[in-house]
Amino acid sequence: MLDTLARTLRRHPERPAVLGTTRTGAVRTKATFGDLADLADHCTTALHGRGIGRGSTVGVAVRPGPRALAVMLALHRLGARAAVLDPGAGPDLLRARLALARPDLVLADATAQAVAGWARPLARRARLALPDLAELGPVATLGPRLPGCAPALETGPRTGPLPPPVDEDGDAVIVFTSGTTARPRAVVHTRSSLAAGMTTVAELVRPRAGRPVLGGTFFVLLPSLASGAPVALPARSVPVLRRQLHRLAPQATYLTPPQIRRLLAGGGRFTGRVWTGSAPASTDLLTRVKRAGADEAWGVYALTELFPAAAVEQADKAAFTGDGDLVGTPLPGVTAKTDASGELLLSGPAARDRYLGEDPDPWVPTGDRARLDHGRIVLEGRRKDMILRHAENIYPGLYEPGLHVPGVELALLVGVPAGDGDERLVAVVQPSAGAEREALRAALAGPLERMGTARPDAVLLADIPLSGRSLKPDRAATARLAARRLLERSRG
């Protein structure tokens, strides 16, 4: 897919490729196909000049857009792998993750570096926190520099020939998922698994050349651009996004369920086919999307380890009357089965090769209980402790150890249903005997700030229920306790 994209960029260099929007919703070209091709070539020669090649690892802290896409194309040509950095993970976890990935170079735009430096107070308000990136290895700035930034990656006009492209399989990308600061965990996709996933997306969405697609993820950008369709990055503001959709009239739109809910609440309308994933998409939500003008409304079931795995259109989901959540028939190449405990296992060409530091495994355990109904996947609840908030997966085990400051007996992070598949994240903290509560809240302020985008919506001081012969903390009972306490608080 990346090879196809590289050829497509040179075929029609004058055509708009990545689109933005003004506050009025007017279309603005951020980069043409030729701009992307040139930027990718410049990144390739600059990285090659720094010794990046097959087997190298490059940390990438760059916002989605033309530069991030150019870096991916450059790393693909060089046979290097990208370690995706999440500014919302918090500095402690990010240090641990990069200690595992051991990047040869960290590429960061000025915004990411500002978050770690002079703009840290402003970034806290957005729940972003990064360590000093220079602690993690050599750093280069991609794009315009700001005061205090690392030296720029020189991406000006190249003076020498491009290095020959690597034409064999190997690691392509590292994406961190679950794990703790002591034992981080990361998914490793190879060039072949990444290509298989992109091909599946292209065959599912079927983007047509020349007509815009709206979406901000690489899984939207790569297949759409490879098909010759320009991609519009969605506006963050709901009023601007509403105007953007009206002006653009995209053939296909990909937004997360929280984005769609906010857009519908703001009177947004759709055209063409709409896709949503990263969080549960209820029948009601898909129905509302079609009522708002979409020709089709699709829910996509995907994991970091295998994307996409299954998809279901609103009409089929609405016709399903059985128990559980119908997420659709496995997509071509995907094999699904359940184990003795009822956990859904998936396999296929697009499945991750392995977890970093572990042996390859063809089967992906999803953590979801499921059954197969005439070949269709029906989810019956999560086996993991993972919490879904605003389409973000939050793993309590990543952050609970940091809440055990002096004066804390026990601490759990639990999810409380917030409607339409979303959850509120609540920290339930049990004080030690004799602990002064105001002092305890003050002691928790630092650890909570370092949690980044996983910072809880609420913190409750309460005794945590225990269960079983070993008297382990009972997560389910704690979640019910949190729900009751939040309800009482709202009524009081």
Q: What are phi and psi of 31, to 5 degrees?
A: -165, 140
Residue 132 CB coordination number (10 Å): 12
What distance in Å separates the CA atoms of residue 365 and residue 116, rounded to the nearest whole number? 35
What is the predicted pLDDT for the residue at 33? Answer: 96
Rounded (10°) CA dihedral 197, 201, 202, 207: -150
Strand-pair category, 343-347 with 335-338: antiparallel
What distance in Å separates the CA atoms of residue 92 and residue 96, rounded to the nearest whole number? 6
Lookup: tokens for 448: 């909570």
Residue 40 CB coordination number (10 Å): 26
What distance in Å separates the CA atoms of residue 83 and residue 188, rounded to the nearest whole number? 9
* pLDDT tens readout for residues 206-216: 999 999 999 98
What is the predicted pLDDT for the residue at 201? Answer: 94
Q: What residue type is 287 in one-letter code?
A: T
Asked if 132 and 117 touch (Cβ cutoff 8 Å), the reply is yes
What is the predicted pLDDT for the residue at 127? Answer: 52
* pLDDT tens readout for residues 442-458: 999 999 998 988 899 99
What is the predicted pLDDT for the residue at 148? Answer: 73
Q: What are phi and psi of 452, to 5 degrees?
A: 60, -130
What is the predicted pLDDT for the residue at 183? Answer: 80
Dmax (CA) for the chain in angstroms is 72
What is the predicted pLDDT for the residue at 15? Answer: 95
What distance in Å separates the CA atoms of residue 100 and residue 241, rounded to the nearest whole number? 38
Average pLDDT, consecutive stretches of 10 residues, N- to C-terminus, the chain (492 residues): 83 94 94 95 94 95 89 96 82 82 89 59 53 74 81 72 92 86 87 95 94 92 93 95 96 92 92 90 90 97 94 95 90 96 95 95 93 93 80 83 86 88 92 90 93 92 82 88 92 77
**Which residue is it, tokens 């879904």?**
388
Going from the C-alpha of 301 to that of each of 19, 183, 392, the distances in angstroms are: 27, 27, 14
Asked if 217 and 203 touch (Cβ cutoff 8 Å), the reply is no
Secondary structure of the chain in the HEC alphabet?
CHHHHHHHHHHCCCCEEEEEECCCCCEEEEEEHHHHHHHHHHHHHHHHHCCCCCCCEEEEECCCCHHHHHHHHHHHHHCCEEEECCHHHCHHHHHHHHHHHCCCEEEECHHHHHHHCCCHHHHHHCCCCCCCHHHHCCEEECCCCCCCCCCECCCCCCCCCCCCCCCCCCEEEEEEEEECCCCEEEEEEEHHHHHHHHHHHHHHHCCCCCCCEECCCHHHHHHHHHCCCCEECCCCCHHHHHHHHHHHCCCEEECCHHHHHHHHHCCCCCCCEEEECCCCCCHHHHHHHHHCCCCEEEEEECCCCECCCEEEEHHHHHHCCCCCEEEEEECCCCEEEECCCCEEEEECCCECCEECCCCCCCCEEEEEEEEEECCEEEEEEECCCCEEECCEEECHHHHHHHHCCCCEEEEEEEEEEEECCEEEEEEEEEECCCCCHHHHHHHHHHHHHCCHHHCCCEEEECCCCEECCCCEECHHHHHHHHHHHHHHHHHC
What distance in Å separates the CA atoms of residue 136 and residue 172, rounded to the nearest whole number? 20
Asked if 419 and 410 touch (Cβ cutoff 8 Å), the reply is no
What is the predicted pLDDT for the residue at 122? Answer: 47
Contacts (Cβ under 8 Å, ≥6 apart) of 252: 205, 207, 213, 214, 215, 224, 272, 273, 274, 275
- Residue 377's closest CA among 389, 366, 390? 366
- Residue 42's closest CA among 15, 5, 12, 67? 67
